[in-house]
Chains A and B, each alone.
Chain A
Amino acid sequence: MDFSHTEALWVLLLGSLLGLELIGKVPPTLHTPLMSGANAVSGITTLAALSLIIKAGDNKPLLVIGSISLGFALFNVVGGFLVTDRMLAMFSRKTIRKKGNR
Chain B
Amino acid sequence: MINSVLLKYSIDLVAVLLLALGIKGLSKVRSARDANRLAAIAMGLAVVGVLVDFLGGSGISTNAWIWILLGTLVGGFFGMITANKVPMTAMPETVALFNGCGGMSSLLVAIGVLLFRSNSDEVQKTIDLVGNISIVVSVFVGAITFSGSIVAMAKLQGWLNTPAWTQSKLRHAINISFAVFALIGSIDLLFGGDSGLWLLVFGSSLLGIGVTLPIGGADMPVVISLLNSYSGVAAAAAGFVVESQLLIVAGAMVGAAGLILTQVMCNGMNRSLVSVLFGGALGVSSSRGGSDQSEYSNITSCSVDECALTIEAAERVVIVPGYGLAVAQAQHTLREVTRVLEAGGIEVSYAIHPVAGRMPGHMNVLLAEADVPYEQLKEMDVINPDFPATDVVLVLGANDVVNPQAKKDPNSPLYGMPVLDVYEARTVFVVKRGMSAGYSGIKNDLFELSNTSMVFGDAKKVLGDLLVELKELGLGRKG
- Chain A residues within 8 Å of B, Cβ to Cβ: 1, 3, 5, 7-8, 11-20, 22-59, 61-92, 94-95, 97-98
Nearest neighbor of A57 in chain B, beta-carbon distance: B61
14 A-B pairs besides A38-B232, A47-B247, A92-B33 with CB distance below 8 A are A15-B249, A19-B253, A22-B253, A23-B23, A41-B23, A42-B102, A45-B235, A46-B46, A68-B108, A70-B75, A71-B75, A74-B75, A80-B95, A86-B83
Which of chain B's residues have a CB closer than 8 A to the CB of A76? 79, 98-99, 101-102, 105
What's the count of A-B pairs with C-beta under 8 Å? Answer: 402
CB neighbours (8 Å) of B235 from chain A are 42-45, 48
Binds A, one of B63-71, B160-168, B306-314, B437-445: B63-71
Chain B interface size band reads 35 or more
- Whether, in the assembled complex, B111 has its beta carbon less than 8 Å from a beta carbon of chain A, the answer is yes
* Residues of B bordering A, CB below 8 Å: 5, 8, 19-20, 22-24, 26-30, 32-33, 35-37, 39-40, 43, 46-47, 50-51, 53-54, 58, 60-61, 63-64, 67-68, 70-72, 74-76, 78-80, 82-84, 86, 88, 91-92, 94-95, 98-99, 101-102, 104-106, 108-109, 111-113, 115-116, 119, 128, 130, 221, 224-225, 228, 231-232, 234-236, 238-261, 264-265, 268, 352, 354, 359-362, 364-365, 368-369, 371, 373-374, 377, 379
Within 8 Å CB of A53, what residues of B?
A: 64, 67-68, 71
B79 contacts A88, C-beta separation under 8 Å: no
Q: CA–CA, A34 to B39, complex, Å?
A: 12
Determine the main DSSP class of A at the interface with B: helix
From known contacts A54-B60, A88-B36, infer whether A29 and B364 are also in contact, taking CB-CB under 8 Å. Answer: yes
CB-CB under 8 A from A78, the residues of chain B are 75-76, 79-80, 83
User: Once the chains bind, are A38 and B257 in contact (CB under 8 Å)?
Assistant: yes
A82 to B77, CA, bound (A): 12
Contact of A50 among B50, B249, B259 (CB under 8 A): B50
Report the bound CA distance from A40 to B39 in whole Å.
9
Whether the pair B32, A41 counts as a contact (CB closer than 8 A) is: no
- Within 8 Å by CB of A75, from B75, B228, B256, B359, lies B75
Min CB gap B162→A, angstroms: 23
Of residues A3, A16, A54, which shows the largest number of chain B Cβ atoms within 10 Å of its Cβ? A54
Are B265 and A31 in contact, CB atoms less than 8 angstroms apart? yes
Pair A1/B5 contact, Cβ less than 8 Å: yes
Instruction: Chain B residues near A94: list those with CB within 8 A.
Output: 368, 371, 373-374
- The distance in angstroms between the C-alpha atoms of A59 and B43, with both chains bound, is 27
| B265: chain A residues within 8 A (beta carbon) | 31
- Complex Cα spacing A45 to B379, Å: 37
List chain A residues, Cβ under 8 A from B130.
Answer: 5, 8
Q: From residue B352, how far is it (CB to closest CB) to chain A in Å?
A: 7
- Chain B residues within 8 Å of A41, by CB: 19, 22-23, 39, 43, 232, 250, 253-254
* CB pairs A–B below 8 angstroms (11 shown): A18-B249, A31-B360, A32-B360, A33-B361, A37-B36, A39-B98, A65-B112, A75-B79, A79-B94, A83-B94, A85-B37
